[in-house]
């Protein structure tokens, strides 16, 4: 259950964050250049691990590319998003910078292609995307994050001409909202926030789970209004078994991009 919001502090930023919900239908209106510049600059100001700034984003304007990405996502509305970004973990630029300073980027001493840097770059990309998302909501735009761009990483890499040492992380579709979905419930705060140590007893983690299952089951996703969404436990259970995405798609595609995910 979402915490009673009566006892929370409030200001505009908090209101924006508490009212955030994914938007998947957009008005057919362009986003003006000043807004685009604002969103992109805000994203650049997100924190960056070791200041590597190892992410980039491709703004997709070409309708054919948008259509292709919508196909990869299996989500037609992606093609209609007025603004569409693909955030990319990017060590390509940093490799070029290091190479300019004499580092042999194809030698064992080169580490920007290691698993650690890969996840660090992904973290940076996600933080930048989230900053952009929050700024967008504060400007009355709506967004949806798109993990489904990774349904076919190799196809996306080819479409966007992503070079060595880059890898797509997430998409972000933005626009003026043309729907007003209900806020999706969240679990009890006490099942996600602990004091000092992880609870030894899992009972607390299951606190009010049946009630939460009912609450989630009553939520109607606007993607399919004909039926309520599955109970939370059922959603988790479905996702708890291997879909093969990492071994089948992500690892080989990342390795083809020059990352050594076992290092």
Q: How many residues bind ligand FMN (CB under 6 A)?
A: 12
Residue 22 binds to ligand FMN (criterion: CB under 6 A): yes
Stretch that binds ligand FMN, among 79-87, 146-154, 197-205, 234-242 (CB under 6 A): 146-154
Residue in the block written with tokens 């043309």: 178
Nearer to ligand FMN, 43 or 112 (CB): 43
235 is a contact residue toward ligand FMN (CB under 6 A):
no
Residue 185 interacting with ligand FMN (CB under 6 A): no
Q: In which order are the strands placed within the sheet that holds 166-175?
A: 55-59, 83-90, 166-175, 142-146
Helix/strand/coil (H/E/C) assignment for every residue in 45-101: CCCCHHHCCCEEEEECCCHHHHHHHHHHHCCHHHHHCCEEEEEEEECHHHHHHHHHC
Q: How far is the CA of 222 from the CAs of 78, 184, 233, in angstroms?
A: 15, 11, 20
- From the list 60-68, 89-97, 142-150, 198-206, the region that binds ligand FMN by CB under 6 A is 142-150
Cβ contact 222:25 at 8 Å? yes
Q: What is the DSSP letter of 184?
A: P
Q: What is the per-residue burial (b if ≥16 Cβ within 10 Å, else e) of 99-124?
A: eeeebebeeeebebbbeebbebbbbb
Q: Which stretch binds ligand FMN (CB under 6 A): 8-16, 18-26, 187-195, 203-211?
A: 18-26
- Cβ nearer to ligand FMN, comparing 73 with 112: 73
Q: Applying CB under 6 A, which of residues 52, 139, 145, 209 lies at the interface with ligand FMN?
A: 145
Question: What are phi and psi for residue 201, nearest 5 degrees?
Answer: -105, 120
Provide the minimum distance between the beta carbon of 27 and ligand FMN in the complex, in angstroms, as a whole number: 18
Identified binder of ligand FMN from the candidate list 60, 79, 81, 146, rule CB under 6 A:
146
Q: Tell me whether residue 105 or residue 170 sits nearer to ligand FMN (CB atom).
A: 170
Is position 147 an interface residue for ligand FMN (rule: CB under 6 A)? yes
Shortest distance (Å) from residue 203 CB to ligand FMN: 26
Residue 21 is a binding residue for ligand FMN (CB under 6 A): yes
Contact map string, positions 67 to 86, toward ligand FMN, x by CB under 6 A:
------x-x-----------
Can you tell me which of 184, 217, 251, 260 binds ligand FMN, judged by CB under 6 A? 184
Residue 205, SS3 per DSSP: helix
Residue 170 binds ligand FMN (CB under 6 A): yes
Question: Taking each helix axis from N to C terminus, what angle separates 232-239 and 209-217, rounded to the nearest 10 degrees?
Answer: 90
- In the range 95-134, which residues lie near ligand FMN by CB under 6 A? none
- Which residues fall within 8 angstroms of residue 117, CB to CB, at 6 or more apart? 52, 54, 91, 111
Contact (CB, 8 A) for 85 and 144: no
Residues of this chain that bind ligand FMN (CB under 6 A) = 21-22, 24, 73, 75, 144-148, 170, 184
């Amino acid at each position: 259950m979402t915490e009673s919001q009566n006892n929370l502090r409030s200001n505009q930023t908090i209101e924006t964050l508490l009212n955030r919900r994914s938007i998947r239908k957009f008005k057919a209106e362009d986003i003006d250049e000043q807004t685009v510049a604002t969103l992109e600059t805000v994203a650049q100001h997100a924190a960056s691990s070791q200041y590597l700034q190892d992410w980039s984003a491709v703004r997709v304007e070409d309708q054919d590319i948008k259509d292709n990405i919508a196909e990869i996502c299996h989500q037609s509305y992606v093609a209609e998003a007025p603004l569409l970004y693909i955030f990319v973990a990017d060590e390509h630029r940093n490799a070029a910078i290091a190479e300019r300073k004499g580092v042999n980027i194809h030698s064992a001493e080169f580490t920007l292609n290691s698993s650690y840097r890969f996840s660090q770059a992904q973290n940076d990309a996600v933080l930048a995307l989230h900053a952009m998302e929050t700024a967008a909501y504060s400007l009355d735009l709506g967004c949806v994050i798109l993990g489904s761009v990774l349904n076919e990483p190799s196809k996306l890499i080819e479409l966007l001409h992503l070079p060595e040492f880059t890898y797509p992380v997430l998409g972000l579709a933005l626009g003026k909202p043309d729907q007003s979905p209900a806020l999706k419930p969240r679990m009890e705060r006490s099942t996600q926030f602990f004091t000092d140590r992880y609870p030894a007893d899992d009972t607390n983690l299951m606190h009010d789970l049946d009630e939460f299952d009912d609450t989630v089951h009553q939520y109607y996703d606007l993607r399919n209004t004909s039926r309520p969404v599955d109970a939370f436990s059922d959603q988790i259970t479905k996702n708890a078994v291997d879909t093969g995405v990492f071994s089948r798609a992500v690892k080989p595609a990342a390795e083809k991009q020059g990352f050594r995910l076992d290092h």
